[in-house]
Amino acid sequence: MGPITLFRRFALAEVVTWTLLIAGMILKYGFDQPWATSIGGGIHGFVFLCYVVVIVFLAIDQKWKPVHTLAGLVSAVIPYATIPFERWALKQPIVTDPWRLREGGDTPKSPLEKLAAAVIARPLTAAGIALVVVIIVFILLLFVGPPVG
């Protein structure tokens, strides 16, 4: 899977899970259904963490400026902002196919680029490791509990 496809899929997934979270909040606060945010919030939290990993990975591979990386990360926090960010990023273009650090592409220089190149060379192994890391972070966040206001 290339950078554009990965980026588009996770931008869309973030929007879909925002909808689940908002629907859960409507059910919880409008119809006294406290269970609703547990489901939508949990799914959204997991996809949010995955989206953050994708943005950081793209930033390394595609050599984003820090402001572009920050904009990508902020877009995940604002409901539905990942789609406008995705469209903007593809028009710039700061996301292009194929992977820059693929075999036969640019030579990785920094430790982060070397890690990104290893991920690109072994995507299934890397995705499995990333999934385990996201699950561990997600579980730790569940133990911490929801934010209190």
- The residues, any chain, with a CB within 8 Å of residue 142's CB and separated by 6 or more, are 42
pTM of the model: 0.87
Sequence-separated contacts (24+) of 25-31 with Cβ below 8 Å: none
Q: Any alpha helices (H) in the chain, and if so which ranges?
A: 3-31, 35-61, 66-77, 82-91, 111-121, 123-144
- In the chain, what are the domain boundaries? 3-144
CB 43 within 8 A of CB 22: no
Tens-digit pLDDT string for the chain (149 aa): 999 999 999 999 999 999 999 999 999 999 999 888 988 998 999 899 999 999 999 999 999 999 999 999 999 999 999 999 999 999 999 999 999 999 999 999 999 999 999 999 999 998 899 889 989 988 998 888 876 76
CB 99 within 8 A of CB 105: yes
Gap between the Cα atoms of 121 and 112, Å rounded: 14
Question: According to the 3-state scheme, what is the secondary structure of 53-80?
Answer: HHHHHHHHHCCCCHHHHHHHHHHHHCCC
Q: What is the pLDDT of residue 149?
A: 60
Q: What is the pLDDT of residue 68?
A: 98
